[in-house]
Amino acid sequence: MIPDSTPKASYGRFIRAVQFLALASALAAAPAEARTLRVVALGDSLTAGYGLPPGQAFPDVLQKALRAKGFDVDVTNAGVSGETAEDGLARFEWSVPAGTDALIVELGANDMLRGLPPEGAKAALSSILAKAKAENIATLLAGMRAAVNLGPGYRQQFDAIYPDLANTFGVELYPFFLDGVAGDPKLNQKDRLHPTKDGVERIVAGILPAVENLLATIPQ
């Protein structure tokens, strides 16, 4: 109890101090408001979902898998069939909007299939990673491997692109996007290049731990 002799001004300050401490305590105890993480999958037909019905493309299946794991995420499909790494770089600004939290880069397959010089794909991917880094976007680089018929020299140069860039930029690396799917007729469409629904499920199961690691680096 405040003594009768306490001046009214002092009493008022005392009450305000008590109210402030109570409010500060309540705010400190309140859990931080969760927010939806915005993930963009920037890629070619393997990301776009070529030959698959709506809702079965890689970004859709990945989003479903992440939400099942308890992640509050929206995964945007920024895949365009037929694109090279340079094409992906050219549309980076409008495909990866401001506010993107995480980026999955899946590009280079078409460079390889067309036999384009590996240094061109590497330069374009390097620029993409540099842009993402400048915007503080957590990034996962999905690797690709060259076909056997392109020769050992080409394969060595091309396959080295992804680990080299991941090391240079310090980003998460998933070594081979089609791991467990490439070459399996049961998991690929008739063109033997694009995964079926089951193929996409296999891709997501393989890459999921790397994506979880990526999301864990994002401040909440």
Residue among 45, 60, 101, 159 flagged as catalytic: 45
Residue 208 has which token pair?
A: 């999921």
Q: Answer whether 141's CB lies under 8 Å from 162's CB.
A: yes
Cα distance between residue 113 and residue 106, in whole Å = 14
Residue 71 has which token pair?
A: 């992640």
How far from 45 is each of 101, 107, 195, CA to CA, in Å?
Answer: 23, 9, 10
Residue among 5, 164, 194, 198 flagged as catalytic: 194
Give catalytic status of residue 5 as yes or no.
no
Cα distance between residue 199 and residue 192, in whole Å = 11
Give catalytic status of residue 81 as yes or no.
no
Give catalytic status of residue 194 as yes or no.
yes
Contacts of 63 (CB under 8 A, 6+ apart): 39, 73, 74, 75
Active site residues: 45, 191, 194
